[in-house]
Amino acid sequence: MVWNKLNGKVLVVGASGQVGAAMCRFLRGTNRGELVLPAARTPQDGWVTLDLATLVDSADVREALASEELSAIVCTAGWTHVDGCEGDPARSLQVNATGPAVLAGYAWERRVPLVYYSTDYVFNGFDATPGPYAEQDPTDPLCVYGRDKLVGEQQVLGYHPEALILRTSGVYGADEQGKNFVYQVLKRLTLGQSVRVPEDQSSTPAYNEDLARATFALLEAGERGIFHACGPDVVNRKQFAERIAREFGFSTAGIEGVRTVTLSQPAPRPLVAGLDSAKLARTCPDAPMRSIHDALNDCRPALEASIAVWRQEAMVTA
């Protein structure tokens, strides 16, 4: 199947989440801004209502999108709460695999491309087989979240053989919900609290704006199959937190690195993980994944605005 250029609407499922919001911002910044069609479980005015937790048949999607002319479906939605997935595997499977597979089947019926986002948690991160991993490296997930994301990849490709799978890791950047790691670190530092993070979990953090740009570039190029989309820096959580602190003028003294085993997390994590994005760089050289330093500088205004709010809140409650 040969896809046309993106002339119709791009359905962004999970538009209220971090990656979905970044995708919508990016598209609105292009000359196709009017073609963004946001969708979410709890939508805003003008959005489509779509909940991966309730999708069991493509008829559910057809009903929601009966009158829409689509050129692509970008499924940014999912359940990324790793420990939550471990405690509720049925929900994890539905949201991270079954629901996206239903969307993939619908996209194949409509003859439009589909994008599904996966994770470096599909790898085991053992010292014997460490990351950063390339697309062809053997998968071996340790936890329910990683397992279901891998199942999601397989099911999506089963329903839509030409789907685009983007694996990523540690996504960060401007986020209205303020849930990603950068916000967590900056808020605690702003409030004078200590930051306790694992020093034995390494990854390759991905800037959300770059992830959106790379997604669009791959879609426009008609690419399909699996791509890794992460930044070039390989850091553990303590190193990442220290870089964030230094970029915004905070002391690193309050950042404590601990071993993962001491955290008693319900879900096992891959320790030496991360992804090698060389394939993406070769395919889309004009959509680079930036370093932590460059990415934090790019989203500095949004993060500094949040810091100012936290400081004001601290003064009020003092």
Looking at residue 220, its amino acid is E
Residue 105 lies in a domain: yes
Give the separation between CA 244 and CA 304, rounded to whole angstroms.
Answer: 12
Residue 164's nearest CA partner among 229, 70, 227 is 227
Residue 245 lies in a domain: no
pLDDT digits (tens, 9 = 90+) for 204-229: 999 999 999 999 999 989 999 999 99
From the CB of residue 299, how many other CB atoms can be counted at a distance below 10 Å? 18
pLDDT digits (tens, 9 = 90+) for 158-171: 999 999 999 999 99
Residue 17 lies in a domain: yes
CA distances from 97 to 102, 189, 241 (A): 9, 36, 31
Residue 54 lies in a domain: yes
pLDDT digits (tens, 9 = 90+) for 96-117: 999 999 999 999 988 999 999 9
Question: Which tokens sit at 231?
Answer: 């930044």
Question: Which tokens sit at 88?
Answer: 């509720």
C-alpha 113, offset from chain centre: 19
Residue 39's nearest CA partner among 8, 67, 7, 73 is 73
For the entire predicted model, the pTM comes to 0.92
Give the separation between CA 99 and CA 95, rounded to whole angstroms.
Answer: 5
Residue 299 lies in a domain: no
- Place 32 in a pLDDT band, splitting at 50, 70 and 90: low
| CATH code where residue 95 lies | 3.40.50.720
Q: What is the pLDDT of residue 167?
A: 98
Residue 92 lies in a domain: yes
Check pLDDT > 60 for residue 2: no
Q: Which residues contact 15 (CB under 8 A, 6 or more apart)?
A: 21, 23, 24, 38, 39, 40, 43, 47, 76
Any idea which residue has 């889309």 for tokens?
Answer: 284
pLDDT digits (tens, 9 = 90+) for 249-268: 999 999 999 999 998 889 99
Question: Which tokens sit at 272?
Answer: 């030496």
Residue 198 lies in a domain: no
pLDDT digits (tens, 9 = 90+) for 14-26: 999 999 999 999 9
Residue 256 lies in a domain: no
Residue 211's nearest CA partner among 225, 227, 189 is 227
- In the chain, the number of structural domains is 1
Question: Domain span at residue 101?
Answer: 9-175+206-234+273-290
